Amino acid sequence: MKFKDFERSVLSSYKSKGGESNSNKNLAAILNIVKSINSSLILDDVLELVLKNAILITNSDRGFIVLHDDETELIFELGLDSNGKKLDEYSFEISRSVVEEVFRSGLSKFVENAQDEHDGISTKSILDLNLQTILCSPLIIDNKKIGVIYVDSKNFHKINSGEITETFEILTGQAAIAIKNAKLYNGQLKAYKALQKANQELTIAKEKSEKSEELKSEFLAQMSHEIRTPLNIIINFSNMIREEYSDQLDKALFDDFCTIENAAKRIIRTVDLILNMSELQSGTYRTHENQFDLIKSVMMPLFMTFESEAKEKLLELRMTSPKSIMLKGDEYAVFQIFSHLIDNAIKYTEIGSVNIDIKLIENKIVAEIADTGIGIDEKYIGKIYEPFTQEHQGYSRKFEGNGLGLSLVKRLCEINNFDIRVESNKGEGTTFSIIISMD
């Protein structure tokens, strides 16, 4: 019965019976007790209030509350004496047979003048503990037994057993509701504390992760600087020596100087790739939008850079485009995207040409980099954007590279909302298309 319904029932009974009967007095006392019990949602407080009042209204020496756990056991929760002093679990010496019988049956049991009973009611524990009066009621809510309240006394009190049992049962019925509510609140409190703890741990982990990413980025930037500086010195001095003694060098030695320069540039490109991929994967990469001319600021410088490489391989590098296309976006990202695509096209083409075709179609920039190279196998084409992967035949054995270039291109396209497409036939060539919306 809900508290409001219980209160209404008590007040109605109180008026109908003239107000001052013993029964009504007990009900009025119970009403006040229940109000006190319902004033708290802290389980320990509720248990203590329930037990103190159970001992008081039955004039008992002591009392115990046992609750039922999920392991089908009755567990000691609280013990008090008539002065409100807590009794520890070692003082939990009671008539267990009475408690177990009450919980099993779901019915209250009142034993009076137990020492003088000789009809089998008194158990060995009752006799050993010298108990005279025992009252035990189940805690039941929604037809589910959640525990037992037990009180006893070594003193004999001749009382109206029906009246005291009814009062005690009313108390335990309301106590069961209060205990259930308190346990629910206690569970919510534990869940909230667990959630708080988890959030704190996540915050700490996030801070550690951010610190780790910051240190990693700082480390990579430092390493990039430490590698770039000596390599640039090597390239510069190598070029200076080559130019100084160019008239004294035979072709083989001249080619060796070119090899040194190409190897150093290759290491620098690898460092750049690793640094860029690290920033993208850790989320530390930040786009920087600005207005720039795609043709003059990006494509023409790239064309002039790669033209010499194409000539060294006897390839024809061609570009068709408008004279100017103004674009608002991340100029660095756009430069990296086309640089890697043109580099790959030249790297994987042995005979023929690499064609760069840029045009405007319905407010979109469509840029195609087409080569007549080795092409990509149909089975591998779905994996080309995975980092550190290269096609087993040709890519990983015959050509240099670390498998990061296309992965970087894909991520930069995603970040900048560019569409990237690829068409390829093994042994015939590959065409990469970049579609950039100008809206």
Q: Among 106-120, 168-182, 312-326, 333-347, which is the least confidently predicted range?
A: 106-120
Residue 122 above 60 pLDDT?
Answer: no
What's the whole-number mean pLDDT along residues 118-124?
52
Residue 370 above 90 pLDDT?
Answer: yes
Digit-coded pLDDT (tens) for 373-383: 999 988 888 88
Digit-coded pLDDT (tens) for 183-216: 788 888 888 888 888 888 888 888 887 777 677 6
Of 170 and 47, the one with more pLDDT: 47
Report the pLDDT value the prediction gives residue 318, as an integer from 0 to 100.
96
Digit-coded pLDDT (tens) for 74-102: 888 889 998 989 988 777 777 777 888 88
Report the pLDDT value the prediction gives residue 390, as an integer from 0 to 100.
62
Report the pLDDT value the prediction gives residue 359, as an integer from 0 to 100.
95
Residue 255 above 90 pLDDT?
Answer: no
Of 117 and 172, the one with more pLDDT: 172
Report the pLDDT value the prediction gives residue 55, as an integer from 0 to 100.
87
**Residue intervals in the chain for CATH 3.30.565.10:** 287-437
What's the whole-number mean pLDDT along residues 118-145?
73
What's the whole-number mean pLDDT along residues 101-118?
76
Report the pLDDT value the prediction gives residue 284, as an integer from 0 to 100.
65
Note if the pTM is more than 0.85: no
Report the pLDDT value the prediction gives residue 241, as an integer from 0 to 100.
83
What's the whole-number mean pLDDT along residues 49-58?
85
Of 49 and 123, the one with more pLDDT: 49
Report the pLDDT value the prediction gives residue 16, as an integer from 0 to 100.
54
Q: Nearest-CA neighbor of 48 among 182, 152, 155? A: 182
Q: Which CATH architecture has domain 3-191?
A: 2-Layer Sandwich (3.30)
Residue 334 above 70 pLDDT?
Answer: yes
Of 397 and 196, the one with more pLDDT: 196
**Residue intervals in the chain for CATH 3.30.450.40:** 3-191
Of 40 and 307, the one with more pLDDT: 307
Q: Return the structure tokens found at 246.
A: 């160019």
Domain 287-437 CATH (choose: 3.70.10.10, 3.30.565.10, 3.40.50.300, 3.40.140.10): 3.30.565.10
Report the pLDDT value the prediction gives residue 361, as an integer from 0 to 100.
92
Of 126 and 62, the one with more pLDDT: 62
Report the pLDDT value the prediction gives residue 18, as an integer from 0 to 100.
52
Of 129 and 172, the one with more pLDDT: 172
Of 247 and 298, the one with more pLDDT: 298
Report the pLDDT value the prediction gives residue 421, as an integer from 0 to 100.
95
